[in-house]
Amino acid sequence: MLDPKLIRETPELVRAAIAKKHLDVDLDAVLAIDAAWRTQLQEVESLRAAQKAANTAMAALPKGTPEFLAKVTEMKAASAQIKEREGQLKETEEKFRQAMLSLPNLPHASVPEGRNAEQNVVFSTHGDTAAVSAHAISHWEIPGFDRLFDFARGAKVTGAGFPFYVGDGARLVRSLLHFFLEEDAKAGYVEVNPPILVNAASATATGQLPDKEGQMYETTPDRLFAVPTAEVPLTSFFRDEILEESALPIYRCAYTPCFRREAGSYGKDVRGLNRLHQFDKVELLKWVHPSTSYEELDKLRDDAERLLRKLELPYRVLLMCGGDLGFTQAKKYDLEVWSGGQKRWLEVSSCSNFEAFQARRAQIRYRSKETGKPELVHTLNGSGLAVPRVLAALLENNLQADGRVKIPAALVPYFGKEYLSFS
């Protein structure tokens, strides 16, 4: 959510931001609702002020006297009028709130222009893609793959996109998660194990609601949502709280399974481990002072990159252009790992600065030492990392002539052996 003052005072700024994101939002309609709301608010408030004054005067009168009863009759009419106006005001207020929720976050000045994914900027590339691609095949074509990653039985038990991980498959998933969490801890992130069902208020704070309701699994009858990412419960950890400025920045990380309905995808994009309805991910989250958030974004991205470097996987970093930036982000980098068998890049992390956009929705503030007043923090998050696509790249890139997969040196202490075997 944006600052209402921002749209009132500098609507052209907001208009430019919407244009940069290539979104279609009627800002004038929002401004009109805002103006109507303020007019109605002032009317209601002055009526209430009069009512309060009359009530104070009545309190001084002896009850039951003719003056008192006359005042009661008079105030009955006034009260009815206030009730009616309050009803209107409430409706307008709700409209205004909805309108404000429909406005996207402003992209940062350093975000490149662009309409869609093709116009993202390749920020950096690491590792040698040519070296790993020679004999690699897609991971689902590796002999024995189905034994360790059992999609058929997952489909029977739950549905498509819910695989079983068996034997070394399960072991590799667990090793990766353990490795990620240990590395993240070294980088200063405090580990958190959050609830994986969240209420509507939490889903709204991070922006899943109201825009992306259909993408989450929802439980009945409690209307709790299965988390699409640990970002949701983690961001809401400090919801409606005022932090000490000296406590910032706060770094946290959390492993959760993630659940995404992702209806409407098909083809090679969703083959094998490329896209699942349930997957494991470690998320990194930061609450920081607004003056440091872009510096913190660079550090966050580097923390995520380091994991790929230690796993010796070739990857590249994309700087998202305005048109491919999400609704809530001010700036975003995607980390894409090279999948040697599929010969394509797979997104394994998305590192974003939300500035105060989520913090305003979630009311996460800090008490400014300078002014003594509560100010909104900036929130950032990024994956560190999502497991299945790292797994896909690992299987494909490290496949040996004998059908085994070589485990990267950094992972061996966690996996317990140097090779994964499909037989």
State the residues that interact with RNA by CB under 7 A: 4-5, 38, 41-42, 45-46, 48-49, 51-56, 58-60, 63, 71-72, 75-76, 78-79, 90, 365, 372-374
376 vs 395, which CB is nearer to RNA? 376
If the CB atoms of residues 20 and 365 are measured against RNA, the closer one turns out to be: 365
Pick the closer one to RNA by CB: 7 or 420: 7
Backbone dihedral region for residue 294 (phi beyond 0: left; psi -120 to 50: alpha; all else: beta) = alpha
| Rounded distance between C-alpha atoms, residue 383 and residue 177, angstroms | 12
Q: Rounded to an integer, what distance in angstroms lies between the CA atom of residue 152 and that of residue 156?
A: 6
What 48-57 contacts at long range (C-beta under 8 Å, 24+ apart), as own/partner pairs, is 48/82, 50/78, 51/75, 51/78, 51/79, 51/82, 54/78
For residue 36, the minimal CB distance to RNA (Å) is 12
Q: For RNA, which is the closer residue by CB, 72 or 131?
A: 72
Closer Cβ to RNA, 76 or 147, answer by number: 76
Q: What's the min distance (Å) between Cβ of 131 and RNA?
A: 47
Q: Is position 275 annotated as part of the catalytic site? A: yes
Report in angstroms how near the CB of residue 52 gets to RNA at its nearest.
4
Q: Which of 231, 365, 389, 396 does the annotation list as catalytic?
A: 389
Q: Is 347 a catalytic residue?
A: yes
Sheet holding 364-367, edge to edge: 241-244, 364-367, 374-376
| From 312, 347, 367, 375, active-site residue | 347
Catalytic residue among 236, 350, 352, 383: 350
* Residue 272 backbone class (left: φ over 0; alpha: ψ -120 to 50; beta: rest): left
Query: C-beta of 345: minimal distance to RNA in Å?
Result: 40
Burial of 127 (0-12, 13-18, 19+ CB in 10 A): middle
Q: What gap in Å lies between CA 157 and CA 260, rounded to an integer?
A: 17
261 included as an active-site residue: no
Cβ closest to RNA, residue 25 vs residue 75 = 75
| Amino acid occupying residue 73 | T
Nearest approach, Cβ of 218 to RNA (angstroms)? 17
Q: How is 318-347 classified by DSSP, letter by letter?
A: EEPPGGGS-SS-SEEEEEEEEETTTTEEEE
Q: Is 252 a catalytic residue?
A: no
Q: How far is the CB of 5 from RNA (least distance, A)?
A: 6
CB 149 within 8 A of CB 56: no
DSSP state of 61: S
What are residue 139's phi and psi, to 5 degrees? -60, -30
Q: Which residues are catalytic?
A: 260, 275, 347, 350, 389
